[in-house]
């Protein structure tokens, strides 16, 4: 515990909440598959960034989390890898039944962000499958994509949805898939999402969840609106802050 506190000080990481898991200084300090570590190396990603040091073990521990970190700090990996490994582990336990809806969901404020996140996830999912892990399907659910393209992925089966709020709500309203089995939610750039007027949409989407879930909320800033939203939507979250925002 004392060692954890010293390390957080060393890396200027603030972590608030009960039973904060120890940070990792190296990707190998966590149960991350070696093929993923190799893949990250090939992308020039050798050591975790501050938000990854504390965000990865927190997400892997199953706790709700609020992550506050500046742009370019590597937030995508901090939430993508845990949600992907969650889907892999679930698939190992109980093979996915086609058409039952996603196990996890990532909501982004813009199409471009959703697409980037989708491509990142897809690449890591392929690396895992190539290494013998079960296939994890990812559905990109954004405006501007033809329904035919989306149905193609829908029919192949998918575990994770990456979406923008508008298109997602539309698909849920039309019962294209259900969130009955969804137990993992990640909100990326929550501050931007609220600034863009998506708060009600996100609340409506959360209303479709039937099961207890793990929720990660990532934001560059922490205005009161986000605090209030988080208080209502997360359970006993660990707050990880690596910037000046809200400090
Ligand atoms: P954010 O969402 O916090 O703005 P991103 O997740 O988009 O940041 O990451 C920004 C860039 O940093 C990306 O090009 C990503 O590949 C790279 N990156 C992520 N993690 C690391 C790391 N640990 N080491 C080096 N580069 C990284
Ligand atoms: Mg980002």
Any alpha helices (H) in the chain, and if so which ranges?
2-10, 34-42, 50-60, 75-93, 111-130, 147-156, 165-173, 190-195, 199-206, 224-233
Tokens of 210: 């039937």
Extract the residue ranges of the chain whose pLDDT is less than 70: 96-99, 151-152, 244-247
Q: Is 177 left (phi over 0), alpha (psi -120 to 50) or beta?
A: beta
- Do residues 52 and 74 make contact, with C-beta atoms less than 8 angstroms apart? yes
Q: Going by C-beta distance under 8 Å and a sequence separation of 6 or more, which residues neighbour residue 44?
A: none
What is the DSSP-derived secondary structure letter of residue 207?
A: T
User: Residue 191: what pLDDT?
Assistant: 95
pLDDT digits (tens, 9 = 90+) for 106-131: 999 999 999 999 999 999 999 999 99
Ligand 1 pocket residue status of 186, Cβ below 6 Å = no
pLDDT of residue 24: 97
* pLDDT score, position 218: 97
Q: Is 74 in the pocket of ligand 1 (CB under 6 A)?
A: yes
What six digits make up the tokens of 180? Answer: 């009955």
Q: Is the beta carbon of 37 within 6 A of some atom in ligand 1?
A: no
Which atom of ligand 1 lies nearest, measured to the CA of 75?
3
């Amino acid at each position: 515990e004392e060692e954890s506190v010293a390390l957080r000080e060393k890396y200027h990481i603030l972590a608030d909440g009960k039973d904060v898991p120890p940070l990792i200084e190296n990707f190998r300090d966590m149960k991350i598959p070696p093929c993923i570590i190799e893949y990250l190396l090939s992308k020039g990603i050798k050591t975790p960034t501050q938000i990854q040091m504390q965000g990865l073990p927190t997400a892997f521990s199953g706790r709700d989390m609020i992550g506050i970190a500046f742009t370019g700090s590597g937030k995508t990996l901090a939430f993508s890898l845990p949600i992907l490994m969650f889907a892999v582990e679930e698939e190992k336990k109980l093979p996915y039944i086609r058409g039952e809806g996603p196990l996890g969901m990532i909501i982004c404020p813009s199409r471009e962000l959703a697409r980037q996140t989708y491509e990142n996830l897809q690449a890591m999912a392929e690396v895992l499958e190539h290494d013998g892990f079960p296939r994890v399907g990812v559905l990109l659910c954004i405006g501007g994509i033809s329904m035919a393209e989306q149905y193609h992925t829908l029919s192949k089966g998918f575990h994770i949805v990456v979406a923008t709020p508008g298109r997602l709500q539309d698909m849920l309203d039309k019962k294209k898939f259900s969130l009955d089995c969804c137990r993992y939610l990640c909100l990326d750039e929550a501050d931007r999402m609220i600034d863009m007027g998506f708060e009600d949409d996100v609340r409506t989407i959360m209303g479709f969840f039937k099961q207890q879930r793990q929720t990660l909320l990532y934001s560059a800033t922490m205005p009161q609106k986000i605090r209030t939203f988080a208080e209502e939507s997360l359970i006993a979250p660990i707050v990880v802050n690596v910037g000046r925002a809200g400090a």
